[in-house]
Structure 1
Amino acid sequence: MMRLSPSTAIKILVGITAAAIFFHLLILVRIIPYDITWGGRLKSDAEMYVFESVSILINGFYIYVLLQKGDFIRRAFSQKAISTILWIFFALFVLNTMGNLVAATNFEKGFAVLTLVNAGLLWIINRAQE
Protein backbone atom coordinates (compact mmCIF):
# COMPACT_ATOMS: atom_id res chain seq x y z
CA MET A 1 0.00 0.00 0.00
CA MET A 2 1.39 3.39 -0.99
CA ARG A 3 1.68 5.95 1.80
CA LEU A 4 0.69 9.53 1.17
CA SER A 5 3.55 11.94 1.85
CA PRO A 6 2.94 14.98 4.04
CA SER A 7 3.89 17.21 1.08
CA THR A 8 1.24 15.58 -1.11
CA ALA A 9 -1.31 15.81 1.71
CA ILE A 10 -0.57 19.54 2.02
CA LYS A 11 -1.05 20.05 -1.73
CA ILE A 12 -4.39 18.20 -1.62
CA LEU A 13 -5.54 20.25 1.38
CA VAL A 14 -4.57 23.53 -0.30
CA GLY A 15 -6.63 22.47 -3.35
CA ILE A 16 -9.63 21.44 -1.26
CA THR A 17 -9.45 24.64 0.78
CA ALA A 18 -9.12 26.84 -2.31
CA ALA A 19 -12.27 25.14 -3.65
CA ALA A 20 -13.99 25.79 -0.30
CA ILE A 21 -13.06 29.48 -0.51
CA PHE A 22 -14.54 29.60 -4.02
CA PHE A 23 -17.72 27.94 -2.69
CA HIS A 24 -17.99 30.55 0.09
CA LEU A 25 -17.42 33.34 -2.44
CA LEU A 26 -20.33 31.96 -4.50
CA ILE A 27 -22.51 32.13 -1.38
CA LEU A 28 -21.27 35.64 -0.62
CA VAL A 29 -22.27 36.88 -4.09
CA ARG A 30 -25.57 34.98 -3.79
CA ILE A 31 -25.05 32.48 -6.60
CA ILE A 32 -25.50 29.68 -4.05
CA PRO A 33 -28.31 30.28 -1.52
CA TYR A 34 -27.08 30.55 2.06
CA ASP A 35 -30.04 28.65 3.50
CA ILE A 36 -28.39 25.36 2.48
CA THR A 37 -25.29 26.12 4.57
CA TRP A 38 -24.42 26.71 8.23
CA GLY A 39 -26.86 24.02 9.29
CA GLY A 40 -29.72 26.07 7.84
CA ARG A 41 -29.48 28.43 10.82
CA LEU A 42 -28.66 31.76 9.12
CA LYS A 43 -31.64 34.10 9.36
CA SER A 44 -30.55 37.18 7.39
CA ASP A 45 -28.26 38.50 4.69
CA ALA A 46 -26.29 40.35 7.38
CA GLU A 47 -25.59 37.09 9.24
CA MET A 48 -24.58 35.44 5.97
CA TYR A 49 -22.11 38.22 5.13
CA VAL A 50 -20.47 37.91 8.56
CA PHE A 51 -20.30 34.11 8.56
CA GLU A 52 -19.07 33.83 4.97
CA SER A 53 -16.46 36.59 5.40
CA VAL A 54 -15.11 34.99 8.57
CA SER A 55 -15.06 31.58 6.87
CA ILE A 56 -13.09 32.94 3.91
CA LEU A 57 -10.58 34.60 6.27
CA ILE A 58 -10.13 31.42 8.34
CA ASN A 59 -9.71 29.29 5.20
CA GLY A 60 -7.16 31.78 3.85
CA PHE A 61 -5.25 31.57 7.13
CA TYR A 62 -5.42 27.77 6.96
CA ILE A 63 -3.85 27.78 3.47
CA TYR A 64 -1.18 30.22 4.70
CA VAL A 65 -0.24 27.88 7.57
CA LEU A 66 -0.28 24.80 5.31
CA LEU A 67 2.05 26.50 2.82
CA GLN A 68 4.44 27.31 5.66
CA LYS A 69 4.29 23.72 6.94
CA GLY A 70 5.21 22.43 3.48
CA ASP A 71 8.00 25.00 3.08
CA PHE A 72 6.27 26.41 0.02
CA ILE A 73 6.56 29.90 1.51
CA ARG A 74 8.85 31.49 4.10
CA ARG A 75 7.78 30.76 7.65
CA ALA A 76 6.22 33.52 9.69
CA PHE A 77 5.52 31.15 12.59
CA SER A 78 7.76 28.69 14.41
CA GLN A 79 7.50 24.99 13.61
CA LYS A 80 5.89 24.43 17.02
CA ALA A 81 3.29 27.17 16.41
CA ILE A 82 2.48 25.75 12.96
CA SER A 83 2.04 22.25 14.40
CA THR A 84 -0.17 23.56 17.20
CA ILE A 85 -2.33 25.51 14.73
CA LEU A 86 -2.70 22.43 12.53
CA TRP A 87 -3.68 20.23 15.49
CA ILE A 88 -6.34 22.83 16.34
CA PHE A 89 -7.60 22.67 12.74
CA PHE A 90 -7.61 18.86 13.01
CA ALA A 91 -9.87 19.08 16.09
CA LEU A 92 -12.12 21.59 14.31
CA PHE A 93 -12.49 19.32 11.29
CA VAL A 94 -13.38 16.36 13.49
CA LEU A 95 -16.03 18.50 15.25
CA ASN A 96 -17.21 19.89 11.91
CA THR A 97 -17.64 16.34 10.58
CA MET A 98 -19.92 15.54 13.50
CA GLY A 99 -21.81 18.80 12.98
CA ASN A 100 -22.27 18.11 9.28
CA LEU A 101 -23.70 14.68 10.05
CA VAL A 102 -26.53 16.30 12.03
CA ALA A 103 -27.01 19.30 9.71
CA ALA A 104 -30.49 20.38 8.66
CA THR A 105 -29.85 19.87 4.92
CA ASN A 106 -28.71 16.80 3.02
CA PHE A 107 -26.45 19.08 0.99
CA GLU A 108 -24.50 20.00 4.11
CA LYS A 109 -24.54 16.42 5.42
CA GLY A 110 -22.62 15.48 2.28
CA PHE A 111 -19.77 17.73 3.40
CA ALA A 112 -19.07 15.36 6.31
CA VAL A 113 -17.00 13.29 3.89
CA LEU A 114 -14.93 16.32 2.90
CA THR A 115 -14.31 17.43 6.48
CA LEU A 116 -13.35 13.87 7.42
CA VAL A 117 -10.86 13.79 4.53
CA ASN A 118 -9.43 17.10 5.80
CA ALA A 119 -9.01 15.63 9.28
CA GLY A 120 -7.35 12.50 7.87
CA LEU A 121 -4.89 14.49 5.76
CA LEU A 122 -4.06 16.71 8.74
CA TRP A 123 -3.43 13.56 10.79
CA ILE A 124 -0.88 12.45 8.18
CA ILE A 125 0.81 15.86 8.16
CA ASN A 126 0.90 16.28 11.92
CA ARG A 127 2.05 12.73 12.69
CA ALA A 128 4.91 12.94 10.17
CA GLN A 129 6.76 15.35 12.45
CA GLU A 130 6.52 13.19 15.58
Structure 2
Amino acid sequence: MLIILNLIMLVLHILIFAGLVPQSMVWGGQIKGQASLYIFEIVALVTTLLFIGIVSLKAGYISPGKWRKAAGIGCWLMFAYLVLNIAGNLASFNSLEKYIFTPVAFVMALLALRVALEKSSGS
Protein backbone atom coordinates (compact mmCIF):
# COMPACT_ATOMS: atom_id res chain seq x y z
CA MET A 1 0.00 0.00 0.00
CA LEU A 2 2.86 2.39 0.83
CA ILE A 3 4.46 1.72 -2.54
CA ILE A 4 1.15 2.38 -4.31
CA LEU A 5 0.65 5.68 -2.48
CA ASN A 6 4.21 6.71 -3.34
CA LEU A 7 3.60 5.80 -6.99
CA ILE A 8 0.51 8.03 -6.96
CA MET A 9 2.59 10.84 -5.46
CA LEU A 10 5.24 10.24 -8.12
CA VAL A 11 2.63 10.67 -10.87
CA LEU A 12 1.33 13.82 -9.17
CA HIS A 13 4.82 15.35 -9.04
CA ILE A 14 5.42 14.46 -12.69
CA LEU A 15 2.16 16.21 -13.60
CA ILE A 16 3.17 19.27 -11.57
CA PHE A 17 6.62 19.26 -13.21
CA ALA A 18 4.96 19.05 -16.63
CA GLY A 19 2.68 21.97 -15.80
CA LEU A 20 -0.51 19.90 -15.97
CA VAL A 21 -1.29 20.50 -12.28
CA PRO A 22 -1.05 24.03 -10.86
CA GLN A 23 1.99 24.73 -8.70
CA SER A 24 -0.24 26.56 -6.20
CA MET A 25 -1.53 23.14 -5.16
CA VAL A 26 1.77 22.11 -3.54
CA TRP A 27 4.57 23.48 -1.38
CA GLY A 28 2.09 25.53 0.60
CA GLY A 29 1.40 27.66 -2.45
CA GLN A 30 4.64 29.50 -1.68
CA ILE A 31 6.73 28.59 -4.75
CA LYS A 32 7.31 31.62 -6.93
CA GLY A 33 8.86 31.10 -10.31
CA GLN A 34 9.43 28.18 -12.62
CA ALA A 35 13.09 27.63 -11.63
CA SER A 36 12.20 27.16 -7.96
CA LEU A 37 9.34 24.87 -8.86
CA TYR A 38 11.62 22.66 -10.97
CA ILE A 39 14.19 22.38 -8.17
CA PHE A 40 11.55 21.48 -5.57
CA GLU A 41 9.84 19.01 -7.88
CA ILE A 42 13.11 17.29 -8.81
CA VAL A 43 13.84 16.88 -5.10
CA ALA A 44 10.31 15.53 -4.58
CA LEU A 45 10.67 13.07 -7.48
CA VAL A 46 14.04 11.79 -6.24
CA THR A 47 12.75 11.53 -2.66
CA THR A 48 9.64 9.63 -3.78
CA LEU A 49 11.71 7.22 -5.89
CA LEU A 50 14.04 6.72 -2.93
CA PHE A 51 11.06 5.94 -0.68
CA ILE A 52 9.76 3.39 -3.18
CA GLY A 53 13.21 1.79 -3.24
CA ILE A 54 13.50 1.72 0.55
CA VAL A 55 10.10 0.08 1.01
CA SER A 56 10.87 -2.40 -1.79
CA LEU A 57 14.14 -3.34 -0.09
CA LYS A 58 12.54 -3.63 3.35
CA ALA A 59 9.65 -5.74 1.99
CA GLY A 60 12.02 -8.03 0.13
CA TYR A 61 10.75 -7.12 -3.35
CA ILE A 62 14.36 -6.21 -4.08
CA SER A 63 17.05 -8.34 -2.48
CA PRO A 64 18.49 -6.08 0.20
CA GLY A 65 21.85 -7.83 0.51
CA LYS A 66 24.25 -5.44 2.19
CA TRP A 67 21.56 -2.70 2.15
CA ARG A 68 19.33 -4.39 4.77
CA LYS A 69 20.38 -2.07 7.60
CA ALA A 70 20.19 1.01 5.36
CA ALA A 71 16.63 0.04 4.37
CA GLY A 72 15.66 -0.13 8.04
CA ILE A 73 17.17 3.26 8.77
CA GLY A 74 15.57 4.61 5.60
CA CYS A 75 12.12 3.55 6.81
CA TRP A 76 12.61 5.51 10.03
CA LEU A 77 13.81 8.54 8.05
CA MET A 78 10.79 8.22 5.76
CA PHE A 79 8.50 8.14 8.81
CA ALA A 80 10.17 11.28 10.22
CA TYR A 81 9.92 13.03 6.84
CA LEU A 82 6.21 12.20 6.60
CA VAL A 83 5.54 13.51 10.12
CA LEU A 84 7.22 16.78 9.13
CA ASN A 85 5.20 16.74 5.91
CA ILE A 86 2.00 16.51 7.95
CA ALA A 87 3.04 19.61 9.89
CA GLY A 88 3.82 21.42 6.64
CA ASN A 89 0.50 20.43 5.11
CA LEU A 90 -1.37 21.66 8.16
CA ALA A 91 0.43 25.02 7.90
CA SER A 92 -0.38 25.34 4.19
CA PHE A 93 -2.48 28.22 2.89
CA ASN A 94 -3.90 25.90 0.22
CA SER A 95 -7.05 24.17 1.46
CA LEU A 96 -6.60 21.24 -0.96
CA GLU A 97 -3.14 20.59 0.42
CA LYS A 98 -4.36 20.99 3.99
CA TYR A 99 -7.50 18.85 3.80
CA ILE A 100 -6.55 16.24 1.18
CA PHE A 101 -2.80 15.78 1.46
CA THR A 102 -2.65 15.93 5.27
CA PRO A 103 -4.77 12.76 5.69
CA VAL A 104 -2.81 11.06 2.88
CA ALA A 105 0.48 11.96 4.57
CA PHE A 106 -0.93 10.71 7.89
CA VAL A 107 -1.82 7.33 6.39
CA MET A 108 1.58 7.15 4.69
CA ALA A 109 3.32 7.98 8.00
CA LEU A 110 1.43 5.19 9.78
CA LEU A 111 2.33 2.76 6.99
CA ALA A 112 5.97 3.88 7.10
CA LEU A 113 6.00 3.34 10.87
CA ARG A 114 4.52 -0.12 10.38
CA VAL A 115 7.18 -0.99 7.79
CA ALA A 116 9.95 0.45 9.99
CA LEU A 117 8.83 -1.70 12.94
CA GLU A 118 8.60 -4.85 10.80
CA LYS A 119 11.55 -7.21 10.53
CA SER A 120 13.04 -7.24 7.06
CA SER A 121 11.73 -9.94 4.74
CA GLY A 122 14.04 -12.92 4.74
CA SER A 123 15.71 -12.09 8.08
| TM-based fold match above 0.5 | yes
Cα gap change, 1:14 to 1:72, in 2 (>3 Å): same
Out of 29, 32, 36, the residue aligned to residue 47 of structure 1 is: 36
Gaps of 5+ in 2: none
Distance 1:65 1:76 in 2: 13
Alpha carbon RMSD of aligned pairs, Å? 1.5
Secondary structure of the 2:63 match is coil
Q: Which residue of 2 aligns with 1:9?
A: none
TM-score, normalised with respect to structure 2 = 0.91
Alignment correspondent of 1:16 = 5
Paired residues in the alignment total 119
Q: Counterpart of 1:92?
A: 81
Equivalent residue letter for 1:123:
L
1:116 aligned residue (106, 109, 114): 106
Determine the C-alpha separation between the residues in 1 that align with 2:26 and 2:66.
32
Paired letter, 2:114: I
**Amino acid of the structure 2 residue aligned with 1:53:** I
What TM-score do you get using the length of structure 1 for normalisation?
0.86
Q: Could you list the runs of 4 or more consecutive aligned residues of structure 1 that deviate by over 3 angstroms after TM superposition? A: none
Q: Distance in 2 between matches of 1:77 and 1:61?
A: 17
